[in-house]
């Protein structure tokens, strides 16, 4: 399932699409790209399934890393992660395209 996030940086708002492209027992991968330019994208990986399901921890922060692409603005990266985590918290049963 593809969902969108609105990334606010200063006075600008960036409309970004996000898709969970892979899910394993200990990781998830997400592809994020801007609405206006689908040729620019990044792939992020998190250990969310490991923390939540295997270790049964609800308060520990997930670790995220960039698998493909380039991050030029650390604040934008952190905001993007927060928006993805908030979406997943609000929609826990989001289906994965490629499992």
- Domain span at 59: 2-90
In a domain, 74, yes or no: yes
The candidate with the shortest Cα–Cα distance to 15, out of 7, 3, 23, is 7
Mean pLDDT of 42-68: 85
Over the stretch 4-24, which tens digit does the pLDDT of each residue have? Answer: 999 999 999 999 999 999 999
In a domain, 40, yes or no: yes
Q: Residue 94: which pLDDT band, with cuts at 50, 70 and 90?
A: low
Q: Residue 98: which pLDDT band, with cuts at 50, 70 and 90?
A: very low
Do 30 and 18 meet the contact criterion of CB atoms below 8 Å apart?
Answer: yes
In a domain, 99, yes or no: no
The whole-number pLDDT of residue 15 equals 95
In a domain, 23, yes or no: yes
Q: Write the CA distances from 57 to 20, 29, 54, 61, integer angstroms.
A: 21, 20, 8, 9
Number of domains making up the chain: 1
Terminus-to-terminus CA distance in the chain, angstroms?
12
pTM listed for this prediction:
0.84
Helix (H) or strand (E) holding 20: strand 12-23
Over the stretch 66-90, which tens digit does the pLDDT of each residue have? Answer: 999 998 999 999 999 999 999 988 8
In a domain, 79, yes or no: yes
In a domain, 98, yes or no: no
């Amino acid at each position: 399932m593809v969902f969108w996030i609105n990334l606010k940086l200063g006075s600008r708002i960036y409309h970004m699409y996000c898709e969970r492209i892979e899910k394993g027992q200990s990781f998830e991968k997400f592809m994020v790209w801007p609405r206006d330019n689908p040729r620019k994208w990044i792939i992020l990986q998190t250990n969310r399934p490991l923390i939540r399901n295997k270790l049964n921890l609800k308060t520990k922060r997930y670790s995220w890393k960039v698998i493909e692409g380039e991050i030029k603005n650390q604040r934008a990266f952190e905001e993007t992660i927060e928006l993805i985590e908030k979406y997943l918290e609000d929609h826990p049963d989001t289906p994965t395209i490629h499992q």
